[in-house]
């Protein structure tokens, strides 16, 4: 209702201006009208409208802030993910991580969830060891959950996120782009202290043909996850 009233005041001001009434000022001591009494009335109404704007703007901003849901409400289904997690078991192709973990934390006053991930892969089949760090920002867009991924190698991926209550799982599926692999990342709650992680890849041209790349179990940990420099 406050915003509706502001809009009415705005258009009333525009209407008065369109009628050709000018506000009295040092450079314009006489309003541009042949009706002094009417000009004084319009002048007073314009001042009243300006004063209403001054008082209503802070009030409207306060109401907008008060109406914003709390993070507990916005992320009610995502609360079990929050915290620090460390890898305890992993397998898949091209090999299981020798060390790693991830963290989920609220940021921007609860508007987003930031996931930080760190993984170290040992050398296999003549390939040198790999150290990988990435960051994902999870946010709401209208009634959907979206996520933006960026890693130390410069890869950018846009994901759609979802929560499945029956199996208590959270899934991120990358947007389908022609000629580009598609990715699916799933966290399933095994217990309040453990998550099962699955990372799948679908080849270009077959966006629904996902194959498992990594299976892992991560356990809740008190220590924060931080990116580590690559080992020599």
Q: Is the pTM of this model over 0.75?
A: no
Q: Which parts of 132-229 fold into alpha helices (H)?
A: none
The number of beta carbons lying within 10 Å of the beta carbon of residue 155 is 10
Residue 198's nearest CA partner among 159, 175, 226, 172 is 172
pLDDT of residue 9: 43
Contact between 74 and 110 under an 8 Å Cβ cutoff? The reply is: yes
Q: What is the DSSP string of 56-107?
A: HHHHHHHHHHHHSPPHHHHTGGGGGG-EEEEEEEEEESS---SEEEEEEEEE
pLDDT of residue 42: 55
Which parts of the chain have pLDDT scores under 50? 1-6, 8-11, 13, 16-19, 21-25, 92-95, 228-232
- Domain 71-221: which CATH number of 2.40.160.20, 1.10.10.10, 2.40.128.720, 2.40.128.20: 2.40.128.20
Q: Per-domain residue ranges for the chain?
A: 2-67, 71-221
pLDDT of residue 72: 82
- Residue in the block written with tokens 């397998």: 91
The number of beta carbons lying within 10 Å of the beta carbon of residue 87 is 22
pLDDT of residue 5: 43
23 SS3 class: coil
Contact between 145 and 158 under an 8 Å Cβ cutoff? The reply is: no
């Amino acid at each position: 209702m406050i915003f509706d009233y502001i809009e009415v005041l705005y258009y009333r001001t525009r209407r008065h201006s369109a009628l050709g009434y000018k506000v009295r000022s040092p450079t314009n001591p006489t309003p541009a009208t042949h009706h002094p009494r009417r000009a004084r009335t319009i002048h007073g109404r314009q001042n009243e409208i300006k004063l209403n704007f001054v008082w209503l703007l802070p009030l409207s901003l306060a109401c907008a802030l008060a109406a914003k849901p709390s993070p507990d409400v916005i992320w009610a289904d995502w609360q079990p993910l929050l915290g620090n997690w460390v890898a305890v078991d992993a397998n898949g192709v091209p090999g299981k991580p020798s060390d790693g973990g991830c963290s989920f934390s609220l940021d921007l006053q609860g508007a987003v969830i930031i996931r930080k991930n760190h993984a170290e892969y040992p050398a296999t089949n003549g390939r040198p060891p790999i150290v990988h760090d990435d960051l994902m920002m999870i946010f709401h867009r209208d009634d959907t959950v979206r996520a933006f991924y960026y890693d130390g190698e410069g890869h950018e991926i846009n994901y759609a996120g979802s929560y499945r209550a029956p199996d208590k799982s959270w899934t991120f599926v990358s947007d389908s782009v022609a000629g580009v692999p598609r990715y699916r990342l799933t966290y399933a709650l095994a217990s309040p202290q453990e998550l099962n992680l699955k990372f799948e890849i679908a080849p270009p041209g077959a966006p629904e043909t996902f194959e498992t790349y990594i299976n892992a179990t991560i356990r809740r940990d008190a220590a924060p996850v931080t990116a580590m420099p690559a080992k020599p």
